[in-house]
């Protein structure tokens, strides 16, 4: 419902380094109200704020950020003489480890699922990605076998303190599968 959408925008907004103004724009609420939401979020999850600040400090020292798999991203903007460019670099440093780790997990999931489908001898095929979704073409007679295989393969791609959750939808086309 609307609350889920609201929460999603706030969470994604934080992962992308969104400030109160940007959040207000996305949710169509005044900037002050958006700032209140961010403040209460950080008050409720102080470790998130700490993580974001520590990430920027480390990136300034090293010149790069790393994902949970050790992939590096150089952020030369952090050393700029221009304040606005430095600020942009800080936002990049804040979101790069989260976004980059999510991208790493997603790519590994794609590789693992492709191998699992092959190993199981299924005709089900991965067609495309849409943001954080994988779209498959599944023969009707494979529905019962493909769903649990895809779900378990994706959920076990890596072990995090918070379990990876996979939602599955089926339909004659992508729009109706949601």
What are residue 135's DSSP bridge partners? Answer: 128
What gap in Å lies between CA 88 and CA 80, rounded to an integer? 10
pLDDT value, residue 48: 87
| Residue range 43-81, pLDDT digits in tens | 998 998 899 899 999 999 999 999 999 999 999 999 999
Q: Which of 81, 45, 69 shows the shortest CA–CA distance to 158?
A: 69
pLDDT value, residue 141: 97
Task: Report the interhelical angle of 2-15 vs 20-27 (nearest 10°).
Answer: 150
pLDDT value, residue 15: 64
**Average pLDDT, stretch 13-39?**
84
What is the CA angle 11-15-16, rounded to 5? 115
Residue pair 122/142 in contact (Cβ under 8 Å)? The answer is: yes
In the numeric block, which tokens belong to residue 82? 């221009």
Residue 13 pLDDT > 80:
no
pLDDT classification of 143: cutoffs 50, 70, 90 = very high
* Tokens 């929460």, located at residue: 7
In the numeric block, which tokens belong to residue 58? 């480390």
Q: How many other C-beta atoms are found inside a 10 Å radius of the C-beta of residue 101?
A: 17
pLDDT classification of 145: cutoffs 50, 70, 90 = very high
C-alpha atoms less than 13 angstroms from C-alpha of 16 in its C-beta half-sphere: 11
| Residue range 100-134, pLDDT digits in tens | 999 999 999 999 999 999 999 999 999 999 988 99
Q: Which of 148, 158, 70 shows the shortest CA–CA distance to 111?
A: 158
Residue with the bigger pLDDT between 145 and 177: it is 145
Q: Mean pLDDT for the chain?
A: 91
């Amino acid at each position: 419902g609307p609350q889920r959408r609201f929460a999603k925008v706030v969470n994604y907004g934080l992962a992308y380094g969104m400030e109160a103004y940007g959040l207000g724009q996305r949710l169509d609420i005044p900037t002050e109200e958006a700032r209140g939401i961010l403040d209460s979020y950080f008050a409720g999850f102080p470790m998130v704020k700490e993580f974001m600040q520590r990430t920027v400090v480390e990136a300034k020292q090293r010149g790069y950020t790393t994902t949970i798999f050790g992939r590096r991203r150089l952020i030369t903007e952090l050393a700029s003489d221009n304040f606005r460019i430095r600020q942009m670099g800080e936002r990049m440093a804040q979101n790069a480890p989260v976004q980059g780790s999510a991208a790493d997990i997603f790519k590994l999931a794609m590789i693992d699922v492709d191998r699992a489908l092959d190993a199981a001898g299924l005709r089900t095929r991965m067609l495309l990605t849409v943001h954080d979704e994988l779209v498959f073409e599944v023969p009707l007679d494979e529905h019962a076998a493909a769903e649990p295989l895809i779900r378990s393969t994706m959920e076990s791609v890596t072990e995090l303190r918070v379990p990876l959750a996979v939602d599955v939808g089926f339909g004659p086309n992508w729009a109706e599968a949601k």
